[in-house]
Structure 1
């Protein structure tokens, strides 16, 4: 008779099982692969199932976040929010018009301006700044700064090298000699929320700064926006760039052959990881898209000419939808008095998405005036407020 030797560590088997399955019954790699394909809302709900699931998902595994981010970037949603006196109503849809998420957040004061970046929404009120992750429904109130004036001169960007978001705010001030200067201050948001003693940092004067015109575009750790027309009279149109890593400014020149002269009908897009300048002037039957092929030498090429004959003008918004899940690349077009349109690069055809919101939100409003629409990517980024 052979006597079985007792394991000196009674928890050995339990530890080994936990190491390979985390108590869920599947290998960790397989769990992460499956979860990465789910909406962030569902992944957050799994935390409530059991202690084992909560242990896996609190905090989120970095590999899961990376896989989920890559898949989400290739399949963005159409995101809408409606600002009321009681708060902000959020709804998101896929490009086929199916409702994916909907909720309302209550805030303490009216919203003045807002910006989207990489799955998060930052909006500025008279005395407050909030950052919201619509996927997890987290809402973070940023500490107040006494320098929060010139509230339209702010930008919101993501720095992938450090996995941080930065709120950048420029304001006018005077030195001891009563000379006016433009000062830049930055608030950094880290994964899991800001540090307990997180605060605004003044990073110095900004002699190259030009007031923020419309909504800046964040690309590869830099913010881009078109120099305001009032500061650019008689000169070729310029683009302002703010490097979030070096926290420095520079000017980017537009294409020499670029004919767009009306700032209100020109915008910036990110297409295939390249900066693009879009001209949708109302007197043109096309949308012309210039792409920067060589950023170091600032070389531009007219890459696309989109025929939109018959589409109502003016156009309020244009955004790029990358290909994902076998779908073709598309451009989202939002006319002022018409439902949302999607232009397909491959078929060169336009399909209507329609007025998606009213039947779900129970609000009777004019799509062109009351609703704000954006492209949105699902995000597991934690603000530490959930």
Structure 2
């Protein structure tokens, strides 16, 4: 066999491996199949898993497909809201409670809902990409709402869970749950920190806890944490004066403290912090001026802030921010009028998402995007 024949045979071999046979599609290039299916909503793809074994393997085990699907899903984020259901479970077991999780699109329409029995009320409800955290007093759960999977994170028996943060490191394909806690309420009040890590392909229950020492800043946090570009931030409860933000670099696992950028804080009725355009932002609301000022952390190392936007909200009155995707250019503001306003920093336009009018019983939502990432290692 000459060199030309060998080259032709090699090309045919490569082409054969690039073609995937799937029932209902036939032979198509693998990248074409992935490109087509990755554009479909997770709810539709869940049904497609039952078509055949080849479909199931591609949709639940193929890392390239799941990565591509997440990229498309980011363009259509969803709101996840929760409420408690009275269904008789509490009468049988006082420690159990039924929670209903509802997904809502950016037009305000309900796209999906499901229920899960958990161990008591949720005090921390945060999301990171396609996954969400439900933290009760003594139990912790990781949830993928797209596939209705809620998995309990193993934790020390009878140990109370306090402040929980949740972040993701794309370099290592690793999620990290951060738990901040007091060693004792008597004494110097030092806070300890432990981290639970798990990778996407290994399932939640394959992860484990490990301590990383004490937090050097012994102030308690009173707000939900925010995850931005591999760093988790907490607002520290130190009053209006010298109000600061605690940060934890998830890769280096190192703490630092950042002062708030706003010195004249009395001009604002309240302050909140979120992630926007891959940057930590502090947002100040002034009821008197009907404005929303957005300060951005321009240099993380030097802790330099700059006020980039001042938005006129008149005649609306803001109540709180809804955490958004940290790469997004849109900010979600819940108004006193029970509307959700989506404001685009790029186009400087706003639109209403009136889901609160129909769902007055729901609590503060979090934002996520669809994914078929399984929570159990056996699914891979």
Bin for the TM-score computed over the shorter chain: 0.7 to 0.9
1:71-111 deviation digits (Å, cap 9, x = unpaired): 22233123322233542212222222233222222224332
SS in 2 for 1:341: strand
CA contact under 8 A between 2:85 and 2:99: conserved in structure 1?
yes
Q: Which moved more, 1:373-382 or 1:237-246?
A: 373-382
Aligned with residue 275 of structure 1, among 280, 284, 290 = 280
Alignment of 1:109-120 (within 5 A): 109-120=120-131
- TM-score of the superposition, structure 1-length normalised? 0.81
- 1:1-53 deviation line (CA, Å, top 9, x unaligned): xxxxxxxxxxxx99985751134422110011112211122223222111121
Distance 1:197 1:378 in 2: 23
Aligned to 2:7: none
Among candidates 337, 347, 366, match of residue 360 of structure 2: 366
CA contact (8 A) 1:209 1:249 kept: no
Deviation at 1:288, TM superposition (A): 0.2
- Give the Cα–Cα distance (whole angstroms) in 1 for the partners of residues 37 and 132 of structure 2: 24
- State the Cα distance separating 1:223 from its structure 2 match: 0.1
Where does residue 169 of structure 2 map in the other structure? Answer: 159
Gap change, CA 1:373 and 1:58, over 3 Å in 2? closer
Question: Any residues of structure 2 matched to 1:219-368 within 5 Å, and which?
Answer: 219-228=228-237, 232-233=238-239, 235-255=241-261, 258-261=263-266, 265-313=270-318, 315-320=319-324, 329-345=329-345, 348-355=348-355, 358=358, 366=360
Q: How many aligned positions are there? A: 353
Gaps of 5+ in 1: 1-12, 359-364
Counterpart for residue 7 of structure 1:
none
Higher helix share: 2
Question: 1:68: Cα distance to partner?
Answer: 2.0
Residues 19 and 321 of structure 1: CA distance in aligned 2, closer, same or farther (over 3 Å): closer
Distance 2:268 2:192 in 1: 25
Match of 2:371 in 1: 379
C-alpha spacing 1:258/1:27, structure 2 compared with 1 (3 Å): farther
CA distance 1:173–1:129, change in 2 (3 Å): same
Q: Residues 347, 253 of structure 1: CA spacing in aligned structure 2 closer, same or farther, 3 A cutoff?
A: same
Q: Distance in 2 between matches of 1:67 and 1:266?
A: 36
Deviation at 1:335, TM superposition (A): 1.7
Match of 1:28 in 2: 30
Alignment check: 8 A CA contact 2:325 2:368 kept: no
In the other structure, the counterpart of 2:80 is 79
TM-score, structure 2 normalization: 0.82
Alpha carbon RMSD of aligned pairs, Å? 3.1
Provide the C-alpha distance between the structure 2 equivalents of 1:265 and 1:66, rounded to a whole number of angstroms: 38
Which of 105, 112, 116 does residue 105 from structure 1 map onto? 116
Once the 2 structures are TM-superposed, how far is the Cα of residue 320 of structure 1 from its aligned partner? 5.0
CA distance in 1 between partners of 2:317 and 2:294 (Å): 19
**Aligned residue for 2:48?**
46
Q: Please state how far the C-alpha of 1:376 moved relative to its aligned partner.
A: 2.0
For structure 2, the 5+ residue unaligned runs are 1-11, 87-96
Q: In structure 2, do the counterparts of structure 1 residues 80 and 220 end up closer, same or farther at CA, with 3 Å as the change threshold?
A: same
Please give the per-residue CA displacement for 1:295-342, whole angstroms capped at 9, x wherever unaligned.
Answer: 2222211111111111135x1224557999xxxx54321123422222
Helix, strand or coil for the counterpart of 1:87? strand
Contact 1:222 1:241 in 2 (8 A): yes
Query: Alignment partner of 1:64: what SS?
Result: helix
Q: Is the 8 A contact 1:239 1:251 kept in 2?
A: yes
Residues 225 and 105 of structure 1: CA distance in aligned 2, closer, same or farther (over 3 Å)? same
2:178 counterpart of 1:168 = yes
